[in-house]
Structure 1
Amino acid sequence: MSFRPPKTLPILSIFHNGNIKRSRTALDLLKKRASQKNGNDAYRIDIIDSQPPTIEQLRQVASFLPHQGKGESSWYQMVQQPDKLQDWSEIAQKIHEEPSLLTRPIVVDWSNGKAAINDNDIEKLINERVQTKD
């Protein structure tokens, strides 16, 4: 007789700052949408608020973000005051050294390889995750 290991829930991470209203709103939406009508959870929430992201995490999140403009790197969406920085390595280093420069909230669906920063994209990312679990 064989047993199937229990299926693990996907993880949606939020790079969060409780002092920012948009971040609190995104976290509330994540919590509200995690429970499905059938009582099961669609995903687990990982709140990243006090620990600075590693450069590798930043690289991965940047690769998951949609490009905003022709030739514009997704790295520039992740940092406040991007015009003062030259390239992705400088942005990653600056965010790693000063985590308060990281634009928040950023919601990441690690399983689907997607990330979102603005409100509409965050809601779309959550909707896609919930639909794949229904």
Structure 2
Amino acid sequence: MFSAFKRSIPQLSIFHNSSSAPSTKALATLRAAASSPYPSGALSASPLNFNLEVIENTPPTADQIRTILDYLPPLRDVDDPHHVSALISSHPSAPSLPDRPHSPEGLVRLAEKSPLAVKWPIVVDWTNGRASAGDSEGVKDILEYLRKKRDGEVKEEEDFKPKGWFS
């Protein structure tokens, strides 16, 4: 009963740097998915329904970075799966390994000082707990998850059923 109240429109954010080709491509992909049939080859499909917030040339806050690191797939080459190195690019302006930041606050300072040292775009699905940094493939994964939810291929969370006297 009233399960429609629990459904919400997914909230996506893209931290976008217009001088980054992957960021520009990811933004175009997101906008196309929201305005044209998705997937693009299926003419009978409808566009995906999500709210998109575009944050231009501004890095996430330290608190947002903590959440994004939890949403990113774990890194294979770092002992800590929530390490900030997942958001540092290989651009020449990025610091060398010993000088890299080890905290979300350090990453914010780096991004403010040298924006190209960060992997752009950073795309976050705040509603479903998914994120991607630095490539358009991760964005496609987020959109594919939204498509599967739209098409009923992913089960919604089971209705809340309290445990107690009457269950």
TM-score normalised by structure 2 residue count: 0.65
Closer, same or farther in 2 for the Cα pair 1:133/1:97, shift >3 Å?
same
Distance (whole Å) between structure 1 residues aligned to residue 137 and residue 51 of structure 2: 21
Distance (whole Å) between structure 2 residues aligned to residue 121 and residue 41 of structure 1: 16
**1:12 Cα deviation (Å)?**
1.2
**1:132 Cα deviation (Å)?**
1.0
Distance (whole Å) between structure 1 residues aligned to residue 130 and residue 71 of structure 2: 5
Query: In the alignment, does 2:73 pair up with 1:57?
Result: no
> Identity percentage over the alignment?
26
**1:51 Cα deviation (Å)?**
3.7
Distance (whole Å) between structure 2 residues aligned to residue 45 and residue 92 of structure 1: 24
SS in 2 for 1:30: helix
Distance (whole Å) between structure 2 residues aligned to residue 124 and residue 131 of structure 1: 10
Q: Which moved more, 1:38-47 or 1:124-133?
A: 38-47
Decide whether the 8 Å contact of 2:71 with 2:129 is kept in 1.
yes
Which residue matches 2:162? none
SS in 2 for 1:42: coil
Which residue matches 2:128? 112
Q: Which moved more, 1:15-24 or 1:44-53?
A: 44-53
Unaligned runs of 5+ in 1: none
SS in 2 for 1:91: helix
Q: Equivalent of 2:145, from 106, 128, 132?
A: 128
SS in 1 for 2:26: helix
Return the index of the structure with the highest Cα Rg.
Answer: 2
- RMSD between aligned residues: 2.8
Closer, same or farther in 2 for the Cα pair 1:98/1:64, shift >3 Å?
farther
**1:17 Cα deviation (Å)?**
0.8
Matches within 5 A, 1:1-134: 8-35=8-35, 36=37, 39=46, 41-70=48-77, 71-73=79-81, 74-80=83-89, 81=94, 83=97, 84-89=99-104, 91-95=106-110, 97-98=112-113, 100=115, 101-117=117-133, 118-134=135-151
Distance (whole Å) between structure 1 residues aligned to residue 125 and residue 34 of structure 2: 13
Give the counterpart letter for 2:14 in structure 1.
I
Unaligned runs of 5+ in 2: 38-43, 152-167
Distance (whole Å) between structure 2 residues aligned to residue 89 and residue 39 of structure 1: 38
Deviation track 1:47-75 (CA, whole Å, cap 9, x = no partner) reads: 01144421111111111111121515441
